[in-house]
């Protein structure tokens, strides 16, 4: 992301949402366990955990798309791209960002239709909870909008870098992750913790 206030604000917003969804997942897990126990022991069931769980996945994924985008985690096959000259890579990296943004925009346009129909027809789920569908769908939709906005922002930035001929900066910011970056983002903290421990034990020995 370009280093400016907008990038920092978006990153902070997404991070806050990610943390909130995380705590919600923990809470939902605890509720599921309580439901399992009361169902087995007292034949009493908290209705609707599964329904809320379904909505939770939709929201978790929609929020996660943005976070994965910012941390450059969305999967690409870099086998061939990695072997091309820098100029060609820059072109393909920009193309990847533009097509991703186009897909996201198309998805929110169609997603809006789903949401607006739920509002217009006052759809409810056909379950004991009778959830008004616009509630989970709007949170899901907001997640998609956030994803689309960040996609467009990054795609424009990539295009800008391409037009200015800043090939290296473009490839660094929008190319597939390098091996070191991938290791860092998937296991960085865990490895740090391990090395810390190994150092500690080295001192003891």
| CB of residue 87 to other proteins, shortest distance in Å | 14
CA distances from 181 to 12, 73, 119, 176 (A): 21, 10, 43, 9
Picking from 84, 102, 63, the residue whose alpha carbon sits closest to that of residue 175 is: 84
Asked if residue 161 binds other proteins (CB under 8 A), the reply is no
β-partners of residue 132 are: 124
Nearer to other proteins, 53 or 169 (CB): 53
Return the residues of window 16-55 that contact other proteins according to CB under 8 A.
18-19, 21-23, 25-26, 28-30, 32-33, 36, 40, 50-51, 53-55
Q: Please calculate the CA angle 110-113-115 and round it to the nearest 5 degrees.
A: 115
Asked if residue 120 binds other proteins (CB under 8 A), the reply is no
Asked if residue 148 binds other proteins (CB under 8 A), the reply is no
Nearer to other proteins, 21 or 170 (CB): 21
CB within 8 A of 186, min separation 6: which ones? Answer: none
Please state the separation of Cα 87 from the chain's center in Å. Answer: 29
Q: How many residues bind other proteins (CB under 8 A)?
A: 75
Token pair recorded at residue 2? 């370009």
| CB of residue 26 to other proteins, shortest distance in Å | 7
DSSP string across 145-165 = HHHHHHHHHHHHHHHHHHHTT
Asked if residue 171 binds other proteins (CB under 8 A), the reply is no
Choosing from 6, 44, 47, 106, the residue that interacts with other proteins (CB under 8 A) is 106
Instruction: Choose the binding region for other proteins from 4-12, 15-23, 153-161, 162-170 (rule: CB under 8 A).
Output: 15-23
């Amino acid at each position: 992301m370009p280093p400016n206030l907008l990038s920092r604000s978006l990153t902070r917003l997404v991070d806050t949402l990610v943390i909130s969804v995380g705590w919600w997942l923990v809470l939902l897990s605890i509720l599921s366990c309580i439901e399992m126990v009361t169902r087995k022991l007292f034949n009493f069931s908290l209705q609707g955990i599964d329904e809320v769980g379904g909505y939770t996945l939709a929201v978790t994924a929609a929020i996660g798309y943005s976070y994965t985008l910012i941390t450059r985690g969305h999967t690409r096959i870099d086998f061939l791209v990695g072997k091309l000259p820098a100029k060609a890579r820059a072109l393909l990296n920009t193309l990847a960002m533009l097509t991703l943004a186009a897909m996201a925009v198309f998805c929110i346009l169609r997603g809006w239709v789903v949401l607006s129909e739920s509002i217009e027809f006052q759809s409810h789920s056909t379950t004991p909870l009778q959830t008004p569908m616009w509630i989970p769908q709007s949170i899901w939709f907001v997640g998609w909008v956030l994803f689309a906005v960040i996609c467009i922002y990054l795609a424009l930035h990539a295009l800008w870098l391409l037009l200015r001929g800043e090939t290296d900066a473009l490839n660094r910011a929008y190319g597939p992750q390098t091996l070191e970056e991938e290791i860092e983002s998937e296991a960085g903290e865990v490895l740090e913790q391990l090395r810390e421990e190994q150092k500690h034990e080295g001192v003891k020995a």
